[in-house]
Structures are given as structure tokens and as C-alpha cells.
Structure 1
Amino acid sequence: MEENTFEPDLVHAIFKLVWSSRALERQMIEGTDALDCEVGAGTSKKNRPTSANGNAVKLSCELLRNFVTESVQRAATIAEAEGVSKIEATHLERVLPQLLLDF
């Protein structure tokens, strides 16, 4: 039985959004046309459009699923220890520093 995971198309779209915004930032800093460059033999690696293959996107989806699942489980443990039946934003805020170090 396959567990629910994030849609690869959604994660890929988020990656593309981040890549585009970073390319625009580089364009502003360097004054180059980073987004409109064409890939060719003489194109530097720095100016090539960023992409990811399908397996990398699927792996990113699985990592994101694991991260969210672990976040909720740790927050639920803290909420339970406090005697609360509902996870609040403060519970997530308390687990995130250690969670980021673990991942």
C-alpha cells in the first residue's frame, strides 16, 4: 500500500518558481539576462536553466512527506505532554529547531 505523498507536479512547480526567482535575483545583481539565455556550447553553467529529472522530484516529494510527518508527530507528542488534544502552531514552533538539525 502506497502512502500519500505530495504531487510531483506541485513540487516541481515550486522548484521552478524558486529557480526563476533566484535567476531574477542574479539578473538584478549581475545586470545580465539570466532568464532569456539559450543553452548552447558556449553557455556557462551559471547561466543555464535549472531543471530536475523525474526521480529527483519523486525523491524530493518523499523527503518532504517524511519531514511533514515527523513534524506533526513531534508536535503531537508535545501537545500530549501538555494535556492538549489539538496541535497548535506553538507546538510546531517548539519542534522545528531540533527537526531542522535532524534533517
Structure 2
Amino acid sequence: MEPEHKTETFDPDLIHAILKLVWTKKALERERNQGPENLNNEVEAATSKKNRPTSANSNALKLSCELLRTFVVEAVERAAAIAEAEGVNKIEATHLERILPQLLLDF
């Protein structure tokens, strides 16, 4: 039996903090853009997006961490292949810029 390798991944607490920051900014942006006339159209105040708590399930956070890890690993591998083809031992920003369009399409 082969020993299990623990793959390093992103810290779920870090990813959760980043998501909360984005959610908070989006909520503030919605609040600024929403005029008082739009508030009267809500059926019930408790159902408005502004009043709903935003949270993340622990399994969703784990999955987000794994997806982010996979994305970063793939980006580094593709950029390394470009750098190697050029005969360079160091990945530079230009290598990442070259692989980014196709990487985004693949994900």
C-alpha cells in the first residue's frame, strides 16, 4: 500500500475571509445603488438581499479551496512548460500572461 500524500491546499478560513470581504463590498455597492423607490417594491423586508445573512457551507469552502489549488497548480505547470520551451529556468509574468487566456477558458 502506498503512503497517502497530504496535498497542501489553501486555508478554508482564509478563503472564507476573502469571500466575506467580497460579499460585504457587493452588499455595500448594492445598497449605494439602490434608491428608496426600489425598497418599496420588496414583498417583505426580511427577504431582501440586504437583510439576508451570507455564509458558506464548510463543504463548499473545502471545494473552493481545492478548485483554487487546482487552478494555481495548472497555471504554474503551463507557465513552466512555456518557460522550459524558451530555455529559461524561471517562470516570469510574461509566461503567465501567455497561458492565462486558454487556462480561463479551460476552467
Q: Same fold (TM over 0.5)?
A: yes
Deviation at 1:50, TM superposition (A): 1.4
**1:93 aligned partner:** 97
Structure 2: any 5+ residue segments left out of the alignment? 37-43
Normalised to the residue count of structure 2, the TM-score between the two structures is: 0.84
1:46 aligns with 2:31: no
1:9 aligns with 2:13: yes
Aligned length, in residue pairs: 95
TM superposition outliers: structure 1 runs of 4+ over 3 Å: none
Is the radius of gyration larger for structure 1 or structure 2? 2
Task: Give RMSD over aligned pairs.
Answer: 1.5
Does the residue aligned with 1:91 lie in a helix, a strand or coil? helix
Question: Identity of aligned pairs, percent?
Answer: 68
**2:87 aligned partner:** 83
Structure 1: any 5+ residue segments left out of the alignment? 33-40
Deviation at 1:42, TM superposition (A): 5.2
